[in-house]
């Protein structure tokens, strides 16, 4: 070359610099550019520069040298940048060389037709490289780490660029990147691909904390306060209604049932007690009828809240469609508001034309349970408390899946005991009837296994340790009251081994063994809910509010100061 050697292209339009970069010959590329600087940004027939070929072949040394030589960051005919090619082929060494270069911000701010933004491709295919890019957004103060002036500087422009369209190199790229300003695009990509380690990076955590402090805590806090008011009013209605309506109604219903079905000739000694009980119930009813004047107001407020939320849920379903149906919380909320409405409307249906008191109070039980359970779900977005809530739901999901399988075993034992022990019997033993003070009471022969549902419930409680062996099995066996004692004892031992020991320990093992996995997924789930909350809010907030929320591109954190850790620097 010093003697005037000619530089020609091959059939593909590639120069010697293309070939040197392709094979990672850094020294050869350096010599070529020293004599022929115009080769640096030449294109082949496919629009590839030497930087494109170096990225395609994972030639990290050549990539670093070309970037040092100010190689242009262009797109080939396939609308791919050099970083796009490295991401597509998952060449981590080349991508890391670009991220660690001084031109890293220029590289990452280029629009990408393939990935919309380069960091979205890194999040999907090269999360370790993305972690390195986030590390470059953190700068620590050059002073003693124990000093009060020590700070950590966070740069959010990588996650939320102020204006990417101004950097678009042509109209096609600008059109492809027109949707880049979707709220929290990078964080949503991390959630979509399950990049928990990226979401927990200090830059991402600081960005979420900044948005939470700017508007998230106020928006979500208002929702929690409104729901807490509804919950308080519903609790007041239920507890007050039990005292003023349900208990007196049950007492009066008891008296009516006794008067209707009780035969005085069968046991005339209970008549005075019956009349006295009726008088007591009547007196209690009169005293409980005093209802607070706030009760109708609270009733109306709860009804309006339930109806308003039904309309809101309908609007959400109309906008979200299939996504709405995938969230189990939406089903719980519909059941909650329907049960609340039925319970509250019963206050106005005094003649019980639409539903009776029994139906109303069963709906009330579901309403108050789901109301408090849903309130617990509202706490998922609040720090450490939220992690515990998400962990509880995760373990509950695991246990329910396991119980769905082992429920067949419980039904099997319940059916067996339903056959073996529907009722006790009085033995064919004359010695038994010579017992002093023996009282023949046929009602004492009943067992929990007489009907199928109580039998299943009994087997389930036996698994929790509620065996009560002496009174339920030992004494009846010694008295000869078990219809099939030998077979009953065999199945009883099988229940102790299979349900009380094996199944319960297996369930505990599943719960405990799944704790670490559940805790990791709980952290991801909690952060994902925060990202979803901020995304939905930024889509709905007016532009003038967003301009104030998103005008801060940097923050400084002072870890050695008690107050005022964050201050605006941009």
The rounded distance, in Å, linking the Cα atoms of 196 and 518 is: 13
pLDDT at res. 1: 62
- Residues 283-311: tens digit of each pLDDT: 554 444 555 678 889 999 999 999 999 99
Query: Is the pLDDT higher at 121 or at 262?
Result: 121
Confidence of residue 229 (pLDDT cuts 50, 70, 90): very high
Domain with CATH 1.25.40.20 in the chain: 16-207
Q: Say what the pTM is.
A: 0.74
- Residues 486-536: tens digit of each pLDDT: 999 999 999 989 888 888 888 777 777 667 777 777 778 888 888 888 888
pLDDT at res. 340: 95
Residue from 451, 480, 456, 463 nearest 399 by CA: 463
pLDDT at res. 432: 76
Q: What is the mean pLDDT of residues 443-468?
A: 85
The rounded distance, in Å, linking the Cα atoms of 410 and 416 is: 10
The rounded distance, in Å, linking the Cα atoms of 233 and 547 is: 38
pLDDT at res. 338: 95
**Start-end of H helices in 48-126:** 50-56, 60-68, 82-88, 92-99, 104-108, 118-125
pLDDT at res. 3: 58
Q: Among 209-213, 245-249, 538-542, 546-550, which is the least confidently predicted range?
A: 546-550
- Residues 245-258: tens digit of each pLDDT: 888 888 888 888 88
pLDDT at 356 over 90: no
Residue from 205, 556, 222 nearest 383 by CA: 205
Confidence of residue 462 (pLDDT cuts 50, 70, 90): confident
pLDDT at res. 184: 87
Confidence of residue 370 (pLDDT cuts 50, 70, 90): very high
Q: What is the mean pLDDT of residues 234-262?
A: 86
pLDDT at res. 264: 60
pLDDT at res. 323: 83
Q: Which fold has domain 16-207?
A: 1.25.40
Instruction: Return phi, psi of residue 35, to 5°.
Output: -100, -30
Convert 29-62 to b/e letters by CB count within 10 Å (16 or more is b): bebbbeebeebbbbbbeeebbbbbbbbbbbbbbb
pLDDT at res. 164: 46
305 in Cβ contact with 332 (< 8 Å): no
pLDDT at res. 107: 93
pLDDT at res. 563: 56
Q: Please give the share of the chain, as a percent, with pLDDT higher than 70.
A: 87
**Tokens standing for 28?**
């050869």
The rounded distance, in Å, linking the Cα atoms of 252 and 285 is: 8
In the three-class reduction of DSSP (H, G, I as helix; E, B as strand; rest coil), residue 548 is classed as: helix
């Amino acid at each position: 070359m010093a003697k005037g050697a000619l530089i020609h292209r091959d059939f593909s339009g590639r120069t010697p610099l293309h070939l040197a970069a392709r094979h990672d010959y850094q020294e050869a590329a350096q010599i070529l550019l020293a004599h022929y600087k115009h080769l640096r940004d030449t294109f082949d027939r496919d629009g590839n520069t030497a930087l494109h070929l170096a990225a395609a072949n994972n030639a990290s040394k050549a990539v670093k040298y070309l970037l040092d030589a100010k190689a242009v960051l262009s797109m080939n005919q396939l609308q791919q940048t050099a970083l796009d090619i490295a991401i597509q082929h998952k060449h981590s060494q080349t991508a890391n060389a670009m991220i660690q270069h001084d031109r890293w911000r220029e590289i990452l701010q280029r629009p990408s037709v393939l990935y919309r933004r380069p960091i979205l491709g890194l999040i999907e295919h090269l999360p370790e490289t993305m972690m390195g890019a986030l590390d470059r957004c953190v700068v620590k103060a050059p002073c003693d780490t124990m000093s009060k002036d020590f700070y950590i500087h966070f740069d959010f422009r990588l996650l939320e660029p102020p204006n990417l369209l101004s950097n678009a190199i042509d109209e096609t790229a600008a059109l492809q990147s027109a949707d880049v300003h979707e709220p929290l695009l990078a964080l949503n990509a991390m959630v979509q691909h399950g990049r928990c380690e990226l979401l927990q990076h200090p830059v991402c955590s600081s960005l979420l904390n900044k948005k939470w402090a700017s508007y998230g805590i106020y928006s979500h806090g208002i929702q929690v306060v409104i729901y807490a008011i509804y919950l308080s009013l519903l609790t007041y209605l239920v507890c007050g209604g039990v005292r003023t309506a349900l208990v007196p109604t049950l007492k009066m219903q008891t008296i009516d049932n006794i008067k209707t079905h009780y035969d005085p000739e069968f046991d005339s000694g209970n008549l005075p007690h019956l009349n006295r009980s009726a008088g007591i119930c009547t007196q209690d009813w009169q005293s409980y009828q005093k209802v607070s004047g706030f009760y109708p107001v609270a009733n109306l407020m709860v009804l309006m809240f339930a109806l308003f939320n039904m309309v809101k849920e309908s609007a959400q379903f109309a906008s979200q469609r299939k996504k709405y149906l995938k969230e189990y919380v939406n089903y719980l909320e519909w059941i909650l508001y329907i049960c609340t409405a039925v319970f509250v409307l019963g206050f106005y249906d005094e003649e019980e034309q639409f539903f009776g008191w029994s139906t109303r109070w069963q709906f009330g039980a579901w309403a108050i349970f789901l109301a408090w359970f849903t309130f617990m779900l509202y706490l998922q977005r609040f720090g450490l408390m939220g992690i515990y809530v998400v962990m509880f739901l995760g373990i509950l999901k695991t246990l329910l899946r396991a119980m769905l399988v082992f429920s067949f075993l419980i039904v099997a034992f319940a059916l067996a005991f339903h056959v073996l022990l529907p009722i006790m019997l009085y033995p064919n033993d004359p010695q038994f009837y010579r017992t002093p003070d023996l009282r023949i009471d046929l009602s004492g022969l009943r067992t929990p296994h007489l009907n199928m549902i109580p039998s299943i419930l009994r087997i389930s409680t036996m698994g929790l340790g509620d065996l009560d062996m002496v009174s339920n099995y030992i004494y009846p066996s010694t008295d000869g009251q078990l219809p099939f004692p030998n077979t009953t004892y065999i199945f009883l031992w099988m229940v102790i081994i299979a349900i009380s020991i094996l199944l319960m320990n297996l369930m505990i093992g599943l719960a405990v063994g799944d704790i670490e996995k559940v805790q990791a997924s709980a952290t991801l789930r909690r952060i994902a809910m925060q990202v979803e909350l901020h995304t939905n809010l930024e889509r709905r907030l007016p532009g003038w509010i967003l301009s104030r929320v998103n005008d801060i591109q940097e923050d400084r954190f002072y870890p050695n100061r008690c107050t005022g850790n964050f201050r605006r620097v941009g």
